Structure 1
């Protein structure tokens, strides 16, 4: 329908409604119905029919309930957006609130409270008072919820007219169970909102949890609807009983609710039982026994979605009391028809309840799942077998089962098994001979997942004596260093190569030199730092390095849990809520909605948007020292930097002139591995490393925009999206010229490098700089720099991110050249 046709249609509807407004002719109600239906259909599909507001109100003078409902629907939809038109509805709505038909009275009162117009609040007070005293239960039910709507519109009007007190009286005295439920719902929300606004209403809120109110509610619980029963049980769960006898009496009254067909009622009742007995350990354990059967029954009944909600709560209880459910382990076997998210919870419960009596049956079942067509479930089942093995139940048989997985020749099965075998060897070193014999037959070419590669590399380095071809397998990993994308694997590879050097030096010495060269040239900061650490340790002596890198290790007794007991306790406190389904406390998925768009994060350290960006130092922003400070001696800090090459391995990597390494001295003839006093060139020659003299930096050719503009939000977004393209180390020639951040800020600004934020305390300062390529579009061509400097030593480090990675080298030269000029004038 085009605009002209629509306009003509609305004009025709308006004329027809106006003609019918005062008509009493037979059959006019049927005509009105058709017109109303047409108006409501237009409104539903998004056509603005607010121009018919006056005519719709004039036609509302009718006793036809269907017409009344459609008119109320129309008025409620447009009243909030057109408060001036909403005033036209007050007279007929107030009149309908006194209609003889209780259905019309209730609908009119509900519509009147749903207008949500601040200027019309005064017209709600009288009808609400009358509605709460109405003889019909439906009207009182609507009025109770109307009080809550009034509170959301104007809290002061609600409290000044004593509506909460009226609801409390209604709660205690009304004979209609639905009215009591609505009063309870409204009071809970009002008291909760008042408590968040001030401390004045906390006492009133606590009045809901008195003995008289609680007993009144639970004695009438069978009269309430299922929704109301859940509401009542939620209130009861917050009640603190005065003595054990009172708790027993309350549980006796609510005992039959555990047999209810509605899962929400059963879970709410379970919450009451658990919270009433928290202070009684023996009784609390008996409660687990009592609720076990109802929960297991609910798991196998109802829809999949309902079953998942129930099994999520069962999962929480199983983790808290695994021994109670250990005998029911067959209930947690996965069925073919179970969706994957249900199977995952069942596998976790099977892992938790495994003990000496049922481990064999559970592991046998889990091994069947390893061949499941669902790869995710197959992985979870293998992890479950490994976790049971780490619990020290029947380890002999479980290790054999795990090693059999390696013979299935499925990549994902092999990957998961290698990770678990690594953990088993850390806890049970006595199984190394059997495990390594099987792992040695696994081809490294078939292992593609990063965690599995890291596990295999760890075993190759740790058990080099038992695996004869370990150096040659690691050699293949080193040769493919540039193709390895995972930093986790590269980190583990550095450690494994260094360990194997201590155990089998003739076969691994050249490989170690190549690995260190590749690590020092790695763009990943952690990899670079670990390679530099190992290099510095080897400079001090092989024995010293071995004591640090490969010390005697004891078996791991306990592995870190993925979820702390504190978190699980907080989830338990929110039993029968979404916190259990999400497996995290509610604040973790609710509070994020109230956070600002930019925050001070650990990985960026960028100031919030509302922070003042100035040249002043911000003492609250603490800056950590450069990691390389720990690796440099006082004399080495004054030496020039050089690049790192390799001897026998061809490695293509970035220029290493920016890494902080010592200059070579005279060669040494003593290259004994047992020596603890290696000089730098001795270990360099031994590993095939060379350190050419630092090249003289050429004059930078990159041109920067004199006054680049970048707002904090864009800086934050770019910093989080871009990766570190270069790391620059520099020693200021005159660190004394930097008593505070301001001199460096002015110096950098004079060279077209602006500061976004600065902070720290002497002698350590941190800066966030940015610059822009000249003649580039406004939103591109930016360089972002995190610059950390120690003013006592002059040592600094810059991490550079850029829109255009091709220009990073040129900008790095310019940035270092600018730093060299600082303090020279």
Structure 2
């Protein structure tokens, strides 16, 4: 069996040997049964009597423990009924070996059958072991078992921590094995007692575990101490305890590189929580020559965090030595560390600049490039202070072949152009290769050229005009082209106002690039010593099992709707929204209500100016010849007959005029500063008169909507209390869904809603793709959700329009790729929808494009479709980017017609629903 051969055919003969009196033979037989019981459960049941007999054997505790362990490991449903009674007896066995084995088996039983765990009241026996058992091995195994059960319950502690349990756990730490210590310490950290009587005593009894050789024990002990320090109010006492933690943590650096890496990653978290733990031990983190790169980079992060005025000189000397090593990545990170220290410590900035100046003089290409990137950030932190170094930077322009370095140098020239004698010549050299530069460098050249013109005026006229032409006429980057037109309009209409805006004082930057947010930091501190503290992610972000167990706590998918009608979300198409309209009918045409449009003038409210042409905008620089700026409402779309339909729909010729209204959404500049962010409007999802509570209790009303706010997905909630008690202890949960929408931040812990009161809450949300869920068959997207409070558990569906899932980036898709996609997908009847009534708020092209773009739908092209009608083409990229969808807005005899095509069939209806909403809504 151990060499991999299938010997399951011998199951029955081997099973006969279970009655042997030889302990060694019995172990082998039990091992065989465990291995093949799942494939032959009926035969395994035949050994039940032997198991039960051995479990009650009174002479040898090893036999009793072996029998219980074997029954627990088999995990066959038919075995469980015979196992529960012997297991209960084993938990009270006089021998600690049997008790500790039985404690582990309880967790295995819960994994297979939670119901039997409750029916036989094993939790009460486990609580008794935690409270009164004096054997450290038994207590540690009980804690390990309860930890597994807690994880299976989604993090809910099965037993509340009490002072009595706490004292017994602290007593058991001294007697159990090293791994037993880890289990107990982790349990103490994750299940803290509220307002412990004597925090000092708890910490003092945990501190001895810091000096052990086992790294896991040291990190677990440090975690407990850090958690309980939150209950200590005396600052001096906190510092005293932290000083005792420093030597054990530092001793971890004497291990192998892999252990060093784990130690440094965890120390990075610990010093962010309690910075003064290792504030005087920075030399320990100096890099050794033989250290692998991954350890060196982590040590650099610690050095930056520990930098202060007392140790900055030694740190800079060390970093300067690192900058002369062979490893280019390490050299760049070391130079970057010098800049971050300069930003962090203002009084040490002069010394940091001296080090950077010395590094620049080495004339090593990658050293100079990284130094320029760093100096740019220093200039942003300390403007008008270190300009003397610019001369040396300008002498090294030929060495700049790195994109970030070129962009940083261009920024410096634009920001301090009036102090650089040949700034115009330098910028002309950069602009000569404008077409071949990276997008980041092109944006830098555009910004710097405009700044130079505003500062030097006539000297930079030719430069800024050439760059603006390149950015607006020849670039296919919508971000670059948009910015070029914005600058063009600002300079041509009000140069003084443009100067005040573009040359305004910028906010200074700070060194917080590697600082973790406090809320996430607390979660990571809870998992110090775990994989989570290495990834810097909470466990549910990368462990599917934990995420699934948390979802099961609400089990929203299988709960009834409160009236015994089965799963609430089964029929999405029959969901009734707050206006009483079936969502399945949302995309159905409504006869008799379509408006008649003859062309895009009627649709967009554009006056016919075809006789006058596009006209010319104001001369940008006063009399110089300039190209005309595309304006959507300056020319009727129906009069443009020579546009190429990039999506292959028409037979028109390609228009070679680069100033035509053909291109991406970058051609359209919104006249309004109002951001239209339409998420469908807040809707009642839980009515107080017909709640979804498990016990049909009334009194709580929820209105909800998913929205986009500052390009972030948020869930807006309106909570109304119609009950007679104060509502508190709110917990929000979103069930697993296709787009992975989930709540990132929970309700505020102090949130309460008094009787008759209404509270508005916004919860940050995120998406996590590739979660294996089924795509929505029809609109709308229903997000199964639940709210738990002290009143009850409520569950409901929140409808969501797809535009809140569209990514807010217009430059990520290539027009030719979209064309190929459009041509490869055949036209289907389900892909069309006729708009019933256009909103007056999108009565012109500016308003339409602006509204669509604000909601993640970007203009791509205009032309003539296969039916000969004028058409606009738009596209959107959902969070699952392989589901990109392209839409067509055209005119037919029946009105405005929408068409959509996408590789993901379900996205077509979702997109049409959103487009209909955006074009018809008056919000």
Indicate conservation of the 8 Å contact 1:134/1:140, yes or no: yes
**Hey, what does 2:3 align to over in structure 1?**
41
- What is the CA-CA distance between 1:592 and the residue it aligns to? 10
Distance verdict in 2 for CA 1:186–1:703, change over 3 Å: same
- What is the CA-CA distance between 1:476 and the residue it aligns to? 3.0
- Structure 2 distance, partners of 1:81, 1:67, is 22
What SS does the aligned partner of 2:290 have? Answer: coil
- What is the CA-CA distance between 1:399 and the residue it aligns to? 0.6
Aligned equivalent of 1:512, options 456, 460, 464: 464
Aligned equivalent of 2:109, options 140, 150, 163: 150
**Hey, what does 1:792 align to over in structure 2?**
843
Q: How many residues are aligned here?
A: 663
- What is the CA-CA distance between 1:164 and the residue it aligns to? 1.5
- What is the CA-CA distance between 1:824 and the residue it aligns to? 7.9
Deviates more, 1:50-59 or 1:260-269: 50-59
**Hey, what does 2:142 align to over in structure 1?**
183
Does 1:274 find its partner at 2:247? no
- Structure 1 distance, partners of 2:548, 2:422, is 54
Indicate conservation of the 8 Å contact 2:182/2:216, yes or no: yes
- Structure 1 distance, partners of 2:826, 2:12, is 53
Indicate conservation of the 8 Å contact 1:664/1:681, yes or no: no
**Hey, what does 1:69 align to over in structure 2?**
27
**Hey, what does 1:696 align to over in structure 2?**
641
Deviations 1:92-111 (A, max 9, x none): 43344345543343223212
Distance verdict in 2 for CA 1:588–1:518, change over 3 Å: farther
Does 1:412 find its partner at 2:366? yes
Does 1:468 find its partner at 2:524? no
Q: Higher helix proportion, which one?
A: 1
Indicate conservation of the 8 Å contact 1:40/1:70, yes or no: no
Aligned equivalent of 2:525, options 561, 567, 572: 572
- Structure 2 distance, partners of 1:641, 1:761, is 42
- Structure 2 distance, partners of 1:462, 1:380, is 25
- Structure 2 distance, partners of 1:784, 1:472, is 56
- Structure 1 distance, partners of 2:432, 2:45, is 81
- What is the CA-CA distance between 1:368 and the residue it aligns to? 0.4
Deviations 1:155-182 (A, max 9, x none): 1211211212122223344453212221
Distance verdict in 2 for CA 1:683–1:56, change over 3 Å: farther
Deviations 1:399-446 (A, max 9, x none): 121122222333332222111111111222333431211111121x42
Can you give the 5+ residue segments of structure 1 that lack an aligned partner in the other structure? 1-38, 597-607, 619-634, 643-660, 666-678, 706-723, 732-739, 742-754, 800-805
What SS does the aligned partner of 2:287 have? Answer: coil
**Hey, what does 2:340 align to over in structure 1?**
387
Indicate conservation of the 8 Å contact 2:414/2:452, yes or no: yes
- What is the CA-CA distance between 1:538 and the residue it aligns to? 1.9
Q: Higher strand proportion, which one?
A: 2
- Structure 2 distance, partners of 1:351, 1:55, is 68
- What is the CA-CA distance between 1:62 and the residue it aligns to? 3.2
Does 1:401 find its partner at 2:355? yes
**Hey, what does 1:128 align to over in structure 2?**
87
Aligned equivalent of 1:162, options 121, 124, 129: 121
1:15-164 aligned at under 5 Å gives the runs 39-43=1-5, 48-98=6-56, 101-164=60-123
Can you give the 5+ residue segments of structure 2 that lack an aligned partner in the other structure? 550-568, 574-582, 589-603, 651-661, 670-677, 680-776, 782-798, 808-817, 854-859, 874-887, 896-923
What SS does the aligned partner of 1:572 have? Answer: helix
**Hey, what does 2:410 align to over in structure 1?**
457
- What is the CA-CA distance between 1:386 and the residue it aligns to? 0.8
Indicate conservation of the 8 Å contact 1:406/1:417, yes or no: yes
Indicate conservation of the 8 Å contact 1:188/1:205, yes or no: no
Distance verdict in 2 for CA 1:57–1:306, change over 3 Å: same
Does 1:285 find its partner at 2:239? yes
Distance verdict in 2 for CA 1:549–1:114, change over 3 Å: same
Indicate conservation of the 8 Å contact 1:170/1:180, yes or no: yes
Indicate conservation of the 8 Å contact 2:134/2:172, yes or no: no
CA RMSD of aligned residues (A): 4.6
Distance verdict in 2 for CA 1:611–1:340, change over 3 Å: farther
Deviations 1:274-299 (A, max 9, x none): 23232323321221112112221232
- What is the CA-CA distance between 1:63 and the residue it aligns to? 3.8
Deviations 1:10-66 (A, max 9, x none): xxxxxxxxxxxxxxxxxxxxxxxxxxxxx34234xxxx5444433332344434444
**Hey, what does 2:891 align to over in structure 1?**
821
Does 1:296 find its partner at 2:296? no
Indicate conservation of the 8 Å contact 1:436/1:466, yes or no: no
TM-score normalised by structure 2 residue count: 0.63
**Hey, what does 1:478 align to over in structure 2?**
431
- What is the CA-CA distance between 1:491 and the residue it aligns to? 1.8
- Structure 2 distance, partners of 1:617, 1:144, is 59
Distance verdict in 2 for CA 1:816–1:683, change over 3 Å: farther
What SS does the aligned partner of 1:423 have? Answer: helix
- Structure 2 distance, partners of 1:687, 1:591, is 62
What SS does the aligned partner of 2:843 have? Answer: coil
Does 1:616 find its partner at 2:586? yes
Distance verdict in 2 for CA 1:306–1:205, change over 3 Å: same
**Hey, what does 1:497 align to over in structure 2?**
449
What SS does the aligned partner of 2:15 have? Answer: helix
Indicate conservation of the 8 Å contact 2:373/2:408, yes or no: yes
Indicate conservation of the 8 Å contact 2:65/2:98, yes or no: yes
Indicate conservation of the 8 Å contact 2:619/2:625, yes or no: no
**Hey, what does 2:183 align to over in structure 1?**
231
Distance verdict in 2 for CA 1:595–1:476, change over 3 Å: farther
- Structure 2 distance, partners of 1:160, 1:337, is 59
- What is the CA-CA distance between 1:811 and the residue it aligns to? 7.4
- What is the CA-CA distance between 1:775 and the residue it aligns to? 8.7
- Structure 2 distance, partners of 1:265, 1:701, is 64
Deviations 1:348-390 (A, max 9, x none): 2222222222211110111100112222221121111111111
Indicate conservation of the 8 Å contact 1:295/1:314, yes or no: yes
- Structure 2 distance, partners of 1:610, 1:392, is 62
Higher relative contact order (CA 8 A, sep 6+): 2
Indicate conservation of the 8 Å contact 1:61/1:92, yes or no: yes
Distance verdict in 2 for CA 1:663–1:549, change over 3 Å: farther
Does 1:447 find its partner at 2:400? yes
Bigger Cα Rg? 1
Deviates more, 1:103-112 or 1:564-573: 564-573
Does 1:342 find its partner at 2:295? yes
- Structure 2 distance, partners of 1:590, 1:765, is 27
Distance verdict in 2 for CA 1:84–1:348, change over 3 Å: same
Deviates more, 1:335-344 or 1:130-139: 130-139
- Structure 2 distance, partners of 1:182, 1:593, is 21
Distance verdict in 2 for CA 1:182–1:243, change over 3 Å: closer
Distance verdict in 2 for CA 1:188–1:427, change over 3 Å: closer
- What is the CA-CA distance between 1:339 and the residue it aligns to? 2.0
